[in-house]
Structure 1
Amino acid sequence: MSEQLGPYRLLSRLGAGGFGEVHLALDTEGRTVAVKILHPHVAADDAALTRLAREVETMRRVRGPRVAEVLDASLDGERPYLVTRYVQGKPLSAVTVPVADLRLLASGLAEALSAMHEAGVTHRDLKPANVMMADGEPVVIDFGIALALDSLSVTASGAVIGTPGYLAPELLEGREAGIEADVFSFGATLAYAATGREPYGKGPASAVAYRVVHHEPDLDGVPEWLAPLLRECLARDPAARPTAARICAVLGATPAPRGSHPRNPSSGTARPPVLVADPHAEPTREWQPGGRRNVDLERALHREKVRRRWVIGSGLFVSLLAAAAREPLPEVSLFLLSAFALAIVADVGVALVSRRPFKNRRMVADLATIAGTGALWFGLSTFFSPMTLAIFAGTALVAGVVFLMSA
């Protein structure tokens, strides 16, 4: 039985990390989202929650197809949680490496890095486990959370604020770190994806951290077009690392629009904008779907494609059955065709009186399917025997059942 958390209906547990447990959920409009419920020891830290609430306002400004946008947050209840776009796929740490399309991965991660830094957000924990591969393309998740929850009481309770081998040397040494640390993590993540090996080897966390600070990374096997860039990204000196904009230029990626967020002129580090309390400002919990228009449109388009395939497949199967029954059972044949046509016409009528997207396209496609089903029925019954058509129909039925079970 599903559980209700605020306005979200939790469907299934997706996994857990250092800061919380992630659930697949539905929002009030039936859209899938990812809900991260903070662990009790994190939720008990008032200072960490206050800092996270402040940072969420900045994190919500990160937009782009390569990042899982923060949509909502509720941090004042018994079970504080964050809500992000749900990304269906596997983390980079769980896919086969070296990855097949390294250029696509590199450019996608560069675009995500640019989107975060231009919005004034530092990820702080970029690593293969936080890069979801959706249809071969990367989407970065959990940005900003590690930085916002980097407090003494939270880390003392066992939360992990980073993974040695992907954390920059300045973080491991306790020095001040900015967006340059993300560039280091970007380089380490790509090195892993290109070689299938950890760039600083495996072993105890202390040993890996020592190699990060004192040794050069293992880049054997990295393609020549990528190796020079990764060497720059993995430089021990933060000032020697390239910016996200330069990485995008080298890889031919599309950088985020510039100039919308202030920067510190002395260091070039992106800083979160100063937030002033405004009684008329949009509260964090009342997120507006305007920024998700493209995502919702893509989902609606995907649902329409799936529906169209079902309609066409059903028309093919009905035409086979009706053609097989035309000679021995003509009444059954006509009944099948009529029932199919009436069902499609009824669906077209519902679409016309509703506000569903693509209703005109749906009407044309459905009417064409009805006509095509009738034409196919006539052709099949004319050129094939009932026995042959019955065998075809049985084969199609078995194939459909097997497909549904495997899906």
Structure 2
Amino acid sequence: MGAPDGERLGPYHLLSTLGAGGFGEVHLALDPEGRTVAVKILHPHVAADATALARLAREVETMRLVQGPHVAEVLDASLEGAHPYLVTRYVQGRPLSAVVAADGPVGGGDLVRLARGLAEALAAVHAAGVVHRDLKPANVILTDGGPVVIDFGIACALDSASVTVSGAVLGTPGYLAPEVLEGTGAGEEADLFSFGATLAYAATGRHPYGMGPPSAVGYRVVHHDPDLEGVPGWLEPLLQECLRRDPPARPSAAELLDRLGAAGPAVHAVIPRSRPPSSAATEVHDAAGARELGTREPGRARESVRAQEAAGTRGATGAQEAARAHRATLAREAADVQDTALHEAVAGGTVQELSTREWRPGRRPAPGRPSAEEARERRRAVLHRRWVIGTGLLVSLAAATAREPLPEVSLLLLTTYGLATLVDGGIALFARRNRSRAVVDLACGAGAVALWAVLGTFFSTLTLALALGTVVFVLVAILMAS
């Protein structure tokens, strides 16, 4: 068990528990300068292995050399005492495993950024001479700035007999390279295998070697091919190379990063930025159709290309007709993939050229739809009617209640309301903007006097007082509630 929250562990003040893994329990903490850090307290069975701790102590200084925006740097470590711990940069985000489980596979531009970020992280780790050994979706944190890899080097440093027996290293065999499962060693190539498996899970939402008992999954890793169905075409060849059983046949992290940098523009070329905005949607449609025809029906795609070449030999008029026919064919064939292409383009941030109609002063609104100024005037008129009518009802009831005991007050209320409506109606008539407002004011003034006379004639003062008190109570309750 780690130290409980609220206590101090060395110079660090533990705030809350973030989670637990195969090697330890992670706490959010404050360093002596008040900055947030992540403190990983090693599990007792790990802390009890002197050989593993000695190896980790030797590796910590090397691990502290790893720097980069996509790695959680090791800041400090204390491997002595009752609670050995490591301190890393605190990364605020969600694990890739939780994101895929909740939101589904990662696609479009998000997948490109994830692939590049993981490749950059492995390149930084390997450049420092460190092997991650435990790269998996749970050790990839997705943040606003891209993916961040955590726990690099810990699994490799803590690989010893007692720790392995506890199951800490073989926690997720579907993401460990075959040579790791067979016990023949783990180098940088093992991280590339884990990279391919992690990215395959992100792109498809499925574990590339399935689920089940660890022994069954490990057997499939060693003897079967991964499940890459649903991986985008630009990414599948890279993952196939990374998931090769022969370690030397896998690319290095630097080679992978170079290839991803070259593949990125092809992914984002769904909408060419050099084309005018008016043709952007058409280019998305045509590009999606061409891609779908080229991948699913290469024969039909070749026929379309041959049709274009033949059209070019028949002159300008014939070429235009053939081009129109070709675009119509592509549109029909690509109808089922247009939505997918648009989604990928939006996710990749490549639909910036699509123009939208912006409202500008003087532009006419759509037919049958009022302008913003007209809508505001209608709203003002509704509020005015409600205020004048409601005030008239309240004044009439109050004046009728005071008619017998306080006739002067009754007359004052009616006179004040009548003058207010006359002034407001006169302003509306003088401005010549809203004659209906003047009509409403005059009608309400006359109606208030008529209602005062009716209420005072047919109801007693006590009844009117009770009604007035009820109305006032309701109004106060409404005001307080609002």
The reply to whether TM is greater than 0.5 is yes
- Conservation of the 8 A alpha-carbon contact between 1:180 and 1:241: yes
In the alignment, does 2:30 pair up with 1:26?
yes
Find the counterpart in structure 2 of residue 103 from structure 1.
112
Structure 2 residue identity aligned to 1:231:
Q
- Conservation of the 8 A alpha-carbon contact between 2:74 and 2:86: yes
Between stretches 214-223 and 153-162, larger displacement belongs to 153-162
- Conservation of the 8 A alpha-carbon contact between 1:127 and 1:189: yes
Find the counterpart in structure 1 of residue 10 from structure 2.
6
Q: 1:219 to 1:136 in 2, by over 3 A?
A: farther
Alignment match of 2:59 (pick from 35, 55, 58): 55
**CA RMSD between the two structures:** 1.4
Cα distance in 2, alignment partners of residues 205 and 74 from structure 1: 33
Structure 1 residue identity aligned to 2:81:
G
Structure 1 stretches of 4+ moved >4 Å: none
The structure with the larger Rg is 2
Find the counterpart in structure 1 of residue 72 from structure 2.
68
SS of aligned partner of 1:36: strand
- Conservation of the 8 A alpha-carbon contact between 1:150 and 1:161: no
- Conservation of the 8 A alpha-carbon contact between 2:222 and 2:245: yes
In the alignment, does 2:139 pair up with 1:130?
yes
Cα distance in 2, alignment partners of residues 90 and 69 from structure 1: 18
Cα distance in 1, alignment partners of residues 61 and 145 from structure 2: 30
Cα distance in 1, alignment partners of residues 173 and 6 from structure 2: 37
Between stretches 97-106 and 125-134, larger displacement belongs to 97-106
Gaps of 5+ in 1: 254-397, 399-407
Find the counterpart in structure 1 of residue 459 from structure 2.
none
Cα distance in 1, alignment partners of residues 180 and 241 from structure 2: 18
Gaps of 5+ in 2: 263-480
Structure 2 residue identity aligned to 1:142:
D
- Conservation of the 8 A alpha-carbon contact between 1:18 and 1:161: no
Alignment match of 1:87 (pick from 86, 91, 112): 91
Cα distance in 1, alignment partners of residues 164 and 210 from structure 2: 25
Find the counterpart in structure 2 of residue 159 from structure 1.
168
- Conservation of the 8 A alpha-carbon contact between 2:192 and 2:253: yes
Cα distance in 2, alignment partners of residues 158 and 207 from structure 1: 15
- Conservation of the 8 A alpha-carbon contact between 1:124 and 1:162: no
- Conservation of the 8 A alpha-carbon contact between 2:159 and 2:169: no
**Percentage of matched positions with identical amino acids:** 78
Structure 2 residue identity aligned to 1:87:
V
Find the counterpart in structure 1 of residue 422 from structure 2.
none
Structure 1 residue identity aligned to 2:84:
P
Query: Hey, which of these two has a bigger chunk of helix by percent?
Result: 2
- Conservation of the 8 A alpha-carbon contact between 2:163 and 2:169: no
SS of aligned partner of 1:210: helix
CA shift, 1:158, in A, is 4.2
CA shift, 1:236, in A, is 0.5
Q: 1:42 to 1:210 in 2, by over 3 A?
A: same
SS of aligned partner of 1:154: helix
Find the counterpart in structure 2 of residue 238 from structure 1.
247
CA shift, 1:153, in A, is 1.6
Q: Deviations over 1:62-103 (max 9, x none)?
A: 000000000000001111000000000110000023114100
Cα distance in 1, alignment partners of residues 254 and 81 from structure 2: 39
CA shift, 1:47, in A, is 1.0
- Conservation of the 8 A alpha-carbon contact between 1:146 and 1:161: no
Q: TM-score, normalised by structure 1?
A: 0.61
Q: TM-score, normalised by structure 2?
A: 0.52
- Conservation of the 8 A alpha-carbon contact between 2:22 and 2:171: no
- Conservation of the 8 A alpha-carbon contact between 1:91 and 1:131: yes
In the alignment, does 2:193 pair up with 1:190?
no
Find the counterpart in structure 1 of residue 178 from structure 2.
169
| Residues matched between the structures, number | 254
